[in-house]
Amino acid sequence: MSGRESGRARLDEIAPELLALPDVAIGRMFGSDGISVRGKLFAFVANSGSLVVKLPEARIDELELDNMVMRGRPMREWAVVPLDDGVDRWREVAGEAHAFVDSITP
């Protein structure tokens, strides 16, 4: 199984509890399926299989995560959670990403 397939399987594992929340649905961004709240994506799987989440810049630093890099430029509110971090870490960080995007999305 490729990294992306493994990551997608992991996302499928944590998605049901997120999809049970109000206004949460499957969406697309950067060519990947992900999870959104009111149409704003907060988590998706990168080609590498890592989970990419939207979080405040300071929180990314606190969690000691790397920023997603797009076209050579770090995206300051997008963090990468490696596949190796495990399902519990993915679940926790995705939950935080949901809460953050939910709070800033009208």
Give the CATH fold of the 3-104 domain: Aspartate Aminotransferase, domain 1 (3.90.1150)
Q: Is the pTM of this model over 0.85?
A: yes
Nearest by Cα to 104 from 66, 55, 57, 68: 55
Confidence band for 29, pLDDT divided at 50, 70 and 90:
confident
- Alpha carbons within 13 angstroms on the beta-carbon side of residue 75 total 13
Predicted pLDDT of residue 37: 97
Nearest by Cα to 7 from 57, 63, 50, 36: 50
Confidence band for 31, pLDDT divided at 50, 70 and 90:
confident
Q: Which two tokens stand for residue 34?
A: 């992900």
Strands (E), 8-64: 24-29, 32-37, 40-45, 51-54
Segments making up each domain of the chain, as ranges: 3-104
Q: Which residues of 78-105 are buried (b: 16+ CB within 10 A; e: fewer)?
A: bbbbbbebeeeebbebbbbbbebbbeee
Neighbouring CB atoms inside 10 A of 30's CB total 14
Q: What is the pLDDT of residues 36-66, one digit of tens each?
A: 999 999 999 998 999 999 999 999 999 999 9
